[in-house]
A = this chain, B = another copy of it.
Amino acid sequence: MSAALIGIDWGTSSARAWRFDVQGRILAEHTAPLGVQRVEDGRFRYALKSLLGGEAPEGVPLLACGMIGSRQGWLEAPYVDCPAGFAAIAGGLVRVAEMGLAIVPGLKYRDAEGVPDVMRGEETQIFGALDDPAGRQLVVLPGTHSKWALVEGSRIERFATFMTGELYAVLCEHSILGRLAVAGADAAAFERGIGASLRPGAVLSHDLFSARTLALTGELAPEGVADYLSGLLLGAEVAAALGWVERNGACGLDATLVGAAALCARYDRALAIAGLAARSGPGDAAARGLWRIARHAGMVR
């Protein structure tokens, strides 16, 4: 059966492609470690062929999202300002004409002080995770740079980024705290870290040091240091994001968690401890979002 669309989630380190039939059902999936950072000398056309296992079929439209549309990608798709719905995204598509490839723009949001925040790729996952019919929705995308987004009637109104995943990685790999850690999983240490960051007056740059002092005094096992640190960082994100949700008058919304299952499970625990109900978004949010954007852009019927 021939494809009606090829959708590609093309990130920094890896790429995933899906072939869709005319009804938006996935016919096949391809993945390859061919993220934007790993493609040398702008050889994106060759990387795409590798990813798809051959030339893209003649006449089938292609739609890609993610870092492929950044300055370091194939073709820059300038950020579209929030609030942004399907029409704004469709209007911001850029095209690699000779390939029949369209690239989804990222989104930019300026807060009350005018400071910009950006996403690229997550907007597509959010569109894929939208309830149907679309009402008011809080979508949380854990990751290296976690995003919290408020959606209203299928428009992404605003969002905020937290560098939780990257802070965890650099602290584990390069700080004194990481040097104290011994491999292991410790759910109690994780929850202890969450609780510490959720208490009123918690200060991350101070509390991080307690991973060291508690280990020094034998009150935290070396096997628990990494999980305690993870709990501190997730707890700090959740505490701050709940303030953000409240300031934006969105209390009482469940959080829709979108991302890798193991990471979402950690956020689910942190949200539960903070008293926020969460539910799982679709596992194939990027694929669903690409299909939906393609429809709104008239690339498929």
Contact = CB atoms under 8 A, between A and B. Distances in A.
A209 interface: yes
A161 to B, nearest CB: 4
Contacts of A243: 201, 203
Contact of A213 (B118, B199, B210): B118
A13 to B, nearest CB: 13
A236 B236 CA distance: 14
A75 to B, nearest CB: 17
Contact of A240 (B115, B161, B203): B203
Q: How many copies does the complex hold?
A: 2
B161 A116 contact: no
A257 to B, nearest CB: 18
B213 A117 contact: yes
A247 B206 CA distance: 15
A175 interface: yes
Interface in A111-148: 113, 115-118, 145
A204 B205 contact: yes
Interface string A163-204: 110110011011110000000000000000000100101011
A209 B213 CA distance: 28
A230 to B, nearest CB: 13
A209 B146 CA distance: 11
B162 A209 contact: yes
A217 B117 CA distance: 10
Nearest to A208: B163
A113 B233 CA distance: 19
A205 B174 contact: no
Given A170-B170, A173-B174, A163 B209 contact: yes
30 contacts: A113-B199, A115-B210, A116-B213, A116-B217, A116-B219, A117-B210, A117-B213, A118-B212, A118-B216, A160-B206, A161-B206, A162-B203, A162-B205, A162-B206, A162-B209, A163-B205, A163-B208, A163-B209, A166-B175, A167-B205, A170-B170, A170-B174, A173-B174, A174-B174, A201-B243, A203-B240, A203-B244, A205-B233, A205-B237, A206-B240
Interface of A: 108, 113, 115-118, 145, 160-164, 166-167, 170-171, 173-176, 196, 199, 201, 203-206, 208-210, 212-214, 216-217, 219, 233, 236-237, 240, 243-244, 247
Given A118-B212, A162-B205, A163-B175, 6 more contacts: A116-B214, A161-B206, A162-B209, A174-B174, A203-B243, A204-B205
